[in-house]
Every structure is written in structure tokens, then in C-alpha cells.
């Protein structure tokens, strides 16, 4: 008999639509790509059966009332809500949902939150003593409300034992892909990612906002083009002299223009992009450190160590141990 993997997703007024439908689509595609062998069965549970209005306006339909959820669950998934629905309390303090989570979590093989769903898990007492993440805009609030929880606002998702927390919205799909990789292997997860037309399947330790996206667009299009050139040529000569020559500017004038347009120096920007690439390789491959350093343009293992120390306050080995999600 094929394996059945039961996924129960909580829905409530004002829930973020993509937090629910994004992961559900990943599980559905995994089923399709394996000819049904994945066995995912996604059920929506609400306070009552029937329609639930989402924050985006469209309505979802709860298959089950909370009180009807029984038996063993493979995955209990708690989405978030950035804004409360009109007339409703902020969902991070929704006592009924929190009480149901606390009651139901022991039935689940793993408990997963997407976006501000982490606030609900924390209120249910499931995150005490754990390191977690949530949407970057809500991380400070989560840490203040629950000082017993270690909140890391940077990663796309964090796994701590049987509890997974995700940054939210679009990154909920990255988290769901990681769950598929755990259940069915990396190859299946990558196949699903290709069907979703995801350029890169982001691993947990990657930043919620990549280095290029973390800087606003430059007023000068040639600086924006140079930033993309840097990303595409990490193992090349990206010294200030080489970049100034590419821009047909003197080094002094180039340094002034680059800082004015990006808020940082060219050297600092190049190092940040190279470290981001090194993080991805540390998470997704078993390549030795010298190869990673070379591929990212950091040159040597010693330089890789120094760059990670400056950017992340850790070593390559420690980073890999924490964020390596595949074997």
C-alpha cells in the first residue's frame, strides 16, 4: 500500500493566502511527480467547517473543524497573518487557535510554522528553548513577546528538532520543498522546484533577503548592471581597480559613485555577495572548503574563514553543521 502523509493546515480569518496555498502546491506537485507515491493528503482545519476569508480576500474552505482533527498527523502546519481580519483580534493572540495547536501538536510527527505562524507556536509553548525564525518584519516582536525563544531573523527557515519555522510568504514554498526533501529525497525536491520554475531552491540558512535585493535600485543603470555582473563573475577579478576599469572611471571617482549609489564600498559589496554564494555551497554540497573558496572568488580557506567571521560571526564548519539540510 502507498504511504499516506497527512498534512493538516490551520486556517482562520485573515490568514495569509500564500502561506496556505504555497506549501499545498508543493505537496501536490510532489505527489504528481512521483505518480502518487509521495502520498501527501492536505486537509484544511478551521474553527468550523466551511469558508474562511483570507487576508487577500479570496476564501478558503475548511475541510474539518478543529474539534474533528484526530488521529496521527505527519505534519501540522500553522500559517501566519500579517494583519488581523476586521473585527478579529490579532491572530498572534487568538486564544482558540493557540489552544488547539497546543492540544494537537503531540499528534504530529513534525510541527511547522510559516511567517507569523511562529507567534502562534510560541504562544502555545512549543518554541521554548528553541532557535526559530519568522518574517523579518515580525522577528523583533516575537523576541520581545517570548524571551524564552531564540529568534534568528535572517534564515529562510530553521529546523530545531521536530519543529520547523519559516520566514513566510514566498519562502513558505522553500520550507515545503525542504520537507519534501526530508520525506522523499533531494532529487524529488529539485524536480518539484523545477516544475514551480524556482530559479534556486533556497536552503534554510540563506538570508531572507539576498545581497542584491537588500540594496535599493541605483539611480544609475550602469551601477545596477555592475552589481549583476559581480553576482555572475564571483571567481573573476572583482578588485576596485578592475571594476573601475570596467566602468571606464578612475578608481577614486568609481569608489565615490559606488558608495553614493549603494551605500557601501565595492569591496564590502563583493565580499557580501561572495559569502552569500559560499553559504549556499556549504548548505547544499559536500565540497571541501578550498573548492568553495575558489568557486566564490575568496581564494583560500583562510580568506573564507575571515570573511565568514566578519559577515556571520562563525566558521565554515560550524555554519555547515547548523544549516546542512541534505546528506
pLDDT of amino acid 92 = 54
- Answer whether residue 327 shows pLDDT above 60: no
Torsion angle in degrees (nearest 10) through CA of 200, 203, 209, 213: -20
The C-alpha atoms of residue 7 and residue 25 are separated, in whole angstroms, by 12
The top-level CATH class assigned to 5-195 is alpha beta
The top-scoring range by mean pLDDT among 33-47, 81-95, 155-169 is 33-47
- Answer whether residue 204 shows pLDDT above 80: no
Active site residues: 115
pLDDT of amino acid 198 = 60
- Answer whether residue 203 shows pLDDT above 60: no
Number of H helices, E strands in the chain: 14, 11
Superfamily of domain 210-327: Homeodomain-like (1.10.10.60)
pLDDT of amino acid 278 = 92
pLDDT of amino acid 130 = 94
pLDDT in tens, 52-89: 999 889 999 999 999 999 999 999 999 998 765 554 44
Q: Are 9 and 42 in contact (CB under 8 A)?
A: yes
Q: Which residues of 43-62 are buried (b: 16+ CB within 10 A; e: fewer)?
A: ebbbbeeeebbbbeeeebeb
Domain boundaries, the chain: 5-195, 210-327
Q: How far apart, in Å, do the first and last CA atoms of the chain sit?
A: 27
What single DSSP character describes residue 83? S
Query: Which cell is 24 given?
Result: 499545498
pLDDT of amino acid 219 = 60
Q: Which residue has the higher pLDDT, 154 or 210?
A: 154
Rounded to the nearest integer, the mean pLDDT of the chain is 86
Query: Residue 90: pLDDT band by 50, 70, 90 thresholds?
Result: low
pLDDT of amino acid 208 = 47
Query: Residue 33: pLDDT band by 50, 70, 90 thresholds?
Result: very high
Say what percent of the chain tops pLDDT 70. Answer: 87
- Answer whether residue 6 shows pLDDT above 80: yes
Q: Which residue has the higher pLDDT, 313 or 99?
A: 99
What integer is the mean pLDDT of 212-228? 68
Does the fold of domain 210-327 match that of domain 5-195? Answer: no
Q: Of 133, 205, 216, which Cα lies nearest the Cα of 169?
A: 133
H or E segment and range at residue 320: helix 316-323
Tell me the whole-structure pTM to 2 decimals.
Answer: 0.66
- Answer whether residue 36 shows pLDDT above 70: yes
Strand pairing report for 163-166 and 131-132: unpaired
- Answer whether residue 210 shows pLDDT above 60: no
Q: Of 165, 162, 163, which Cα lies nearest the Cα of 151?
A: 165
Amino acid at each position: 500500500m502507498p504511504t499516506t502523509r497527512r498534512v493538516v493546515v490551520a486556517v482562520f480569518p485573515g490568514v495569509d493566502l500564500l502561506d496556505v496555498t504555497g506549501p499545498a502546491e508543493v505537496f501536490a506537485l510532489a505527489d504528481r511527480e512521483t505518480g502518487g507515491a509521495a502520498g501527501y493528503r492536505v486537509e484544511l482545519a478551521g474553527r468550523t467547517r466551511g469558508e474562511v476569508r483570507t487576508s487577500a480576500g479570496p476564501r478558503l474552505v475548511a475541510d474539518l473543524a478543529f474539534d474533528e482533527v484526530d488521529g496521527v498527523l505527519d505534519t501540522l502546519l500553522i500559517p501566519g497573518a500579517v494583519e488581523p481580519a476586521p473585527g478579529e483580534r490579532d491572530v498572534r493572540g487568538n486564544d482558540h487557535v493557540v489552544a488547539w495547536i497546543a492540544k494537537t501538536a503531540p499528534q504530529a510527527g513534525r510541527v511547522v510554522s510559516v511567517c507569523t505562524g511562529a507567534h502562534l507556536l510560541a504562544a502555545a509553548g512549543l518554541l521554548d528553548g528553541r532557535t526559530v525564525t519568522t518574517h523579518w518584519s515580525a522577528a523583533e516582536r516575537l523576541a520581545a513577546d517570548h524571551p524564552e525563544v531564540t529568534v534568528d531573523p535572517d534564515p529562510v527557515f530553521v529546523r530545531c528538532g521536530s519543529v520547523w519555522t519559516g520566514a513566510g510568504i514566498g519562502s513558505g514554498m522553500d520550507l515545503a520543498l525542504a520537507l519534501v526533501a526530508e520525506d522523499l529525497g533531494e532529487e524529488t525536491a529539485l524536480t518539484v522546484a523545477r516544475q514551480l520554475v524556482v530559479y534556486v531552491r533556497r536552503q534554510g540558512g540563506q538570508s531572507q533577503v539576498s545581497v542584491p535585493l537588500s540594496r535599493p535600485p541605483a539611480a544609475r543603470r550602469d551601477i545596477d548592471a555592475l552589481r549583476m555582473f559581480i553576482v555572475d563573475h564571483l571567481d573573476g577579478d572583482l578588485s576596485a581597480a578592475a571594476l573601475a576599469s570596467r566602468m571606464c572611471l578612475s578608481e577614486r571617482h568609481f569608489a565615490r559613485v559606488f558608495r553614493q549609489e549603494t551605500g557601501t564600498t565595492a569591496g564590502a559589496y563583493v565580499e557580501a555577495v561572495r559569502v552569500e554564494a559560499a553559504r549556499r555551497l556549504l548548505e547544499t554540497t559536500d565540497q571541501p572548503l578550498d573548492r568553495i573558496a575558489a568557486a566564490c572568488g575568496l581564494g583560500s580557506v583562510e580568506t573564507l574563514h575571515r570573511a565568514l567571521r566578519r559577515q556571520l560571526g562563525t566558521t565554515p564548519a560550524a555554519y555547515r553543521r547548523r544549516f546542512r539540510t541534505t546528506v
